[in-house]
Amino acid sequence: MRKVYLDHIAAAPLHPEVSSAMMPFLTDKYGNVQSIHLFGQHLQTAVEEARCQTAGLINAKSEEVYFTSSGSEANNFAVKGLALAHQKKGRHIVLSAIEHQSVLYSAKSLEKLGFSVTHVPVDKQGVIDPSDVKKAIKTETILVSTLLASSEIGTVEPLKEIAAVCHDQDVLVHSDAVAAAGNIPVDIRSLDVDALSLSANQFYGPQGNAALFLKKGVRILPFIDGGIQESGRRAGTENVAGIVGMGKAAELARMNMAARNSKILPLRDKLIAVLPNAVERMIVTGDIKHRLPHHVSFCVEFIEGEAMLLSLSMKGIAASSGSACTSKALKASHVLLAIGLDHALAQGSLVFSLIEDNKEKDIDYLLDVFPPIIERLRSMSPLYAKYQEEK
């Protein structure tokens, strides 16, 4: 049986050069970064080199990059840390309706502390209108947090325009760029955001390693209290091997992004063009034009996503339904509901995400096995039987 991995937005493989860079720090290069002896200083040098590499991916200064354990931690750090640090000015936060759970739940935690939150709607493609953000801002607004690209529907947002609206009213801007950084160009100077989250596993780096960009001079409260690591802003012994891996992955992503995407885009576009025509009542979700280059998402009517995923897995194909944090939740995604889909259709979501190692024969295999899977599943669906009777 052929095996095809199309779930790279959940976890991409470790690049060979990344694993090679990490290996010495898992074997003979050991110690603690905070130690003043020679062993510790060698590790500190490696961490700071990785910080420079990570900063280079997003055009930041190295001192503006703080390593975390995940994109979710980086989002929690940003939303909670920025809000609490600036609450004397106001206690109102603005989010889009399609934010990742780590942003949404961070805001819910702040609501329990007396903050208020406004959720800005999106259109049917999942695009945030900067004018809607402007309308949502009040005199007491201190923070707007909006993603750069959605891991569920692939839409890339007009973040630069949103940031301009916010800064016109002296409001801080954080962006969850986990799905975007390393896959599309991300220049924090051009975007003009105050904070931005990114994660290594999205660009062939190690899982459990991420970072928060924080513009120099912007106040934030630590999310993890304890030691003096990360300039006193994120306590905890450094995961040196993982940090080194993230730095190397960031360097490779910066150098190879254009070449990688030139290989992926034709495969993505083939899936978008062919698959909906091969399956009745199947729609593309998200903005087709302004979209992540490695991302394809659909909703298939009359069938639940879990059944499709299990059936695809039996054919050796790995995909996802919704974000990695909700794929086992067995409920309609808030992102799909926000773009106007009803609960029944939203239950039938599928996400295929590619990397440069995917071949056209992988896509052809998916196109070959997917229609019969849908035909079999629909033959057992009372909703589809009713639809057929009413046609």
Q: Are residues 101 and 216 in the same domain?
A: yes
DSSP 279: S
Q: Are residues 32 and 125 in the same domain?
A: yes
> Residue 77: is its pLDDT beyond 60?
yes
From the CA atom positions of the chain, what is the Rg in Å?
22
| Residue 324: predicted pLDDT | 46
Q: Are residues 244 and 266 in the same domain?
A: no
DSSP, collapsed to helix, strand or coil, labels residue 26 as: helix
Q: How far apart are CA 173 and CA 163, in angstroms?
A: 6
> Residue 229: is its pLDDT beyond 90?
no
Q: What is the DSSP string of 180-196?
A: TBTTB---HHHHT-SEE
Active site residue 52: no
For the chain, the first-to-last Cα distance in angstroms comes to: 37
Whether pTM exceeds 0.75: yes
**How many distinct structural domains can be found in the chain?**
2
Q: Across the chain, what does the average pLDDT equal?
A: 94
- Which of 217, 232, 253 terminates a domain? The answer is 253
Q: Are residues 81 and 199 in the same domain?
A: yes
Tokens of 55: 């900063």
| Domain coverage including residue 311 | 4-11+257-390
Q: What is the pLDDT of residues 272-299, one digit of tens each?
A: 999 999 999 999 999 999 999 999 999 9
Q: How far apart are CA 101 and CA 351, in angstroms?
A: 18
Name the E strands within 182-308. 195-199, 210-214, 282-284, 295-300
Percent of the chain surpassing pLDDT 70 = 97
| Contact criterion met (CB below 8 Å) for 379 and 307 | no
Q: What is the pLDDT of residues 11-70, one digit of tens each?
A: 899 999 999 999 999 998 877 777 677 776 888 899 999 999 999 999 999 999 999 999
For residue 131, give the CATH number of its domain.
3.40.640.10
* Across 94-98, 187-191, 369-373, 385-389, least confident range: 385-389
For residue 343, give the CATH number of its domain.
3.90.1150.10
Q: Are residues 309 and 225 in the same domain?
A: no
Catalytic member of 52, 166, 299, 325: 325
Block residue for tokens 């994109």? 71
Q: Are residues 274 and 147 in the same domain?
A: no
- Which of 253, 283, 298 terminates a domain? The answer is 253
Q: Are residues 286 and 159 in the same domain?
A: no
H or E element that contains 83: helix 71-85
Average pLDDT over residues 341-354: 94
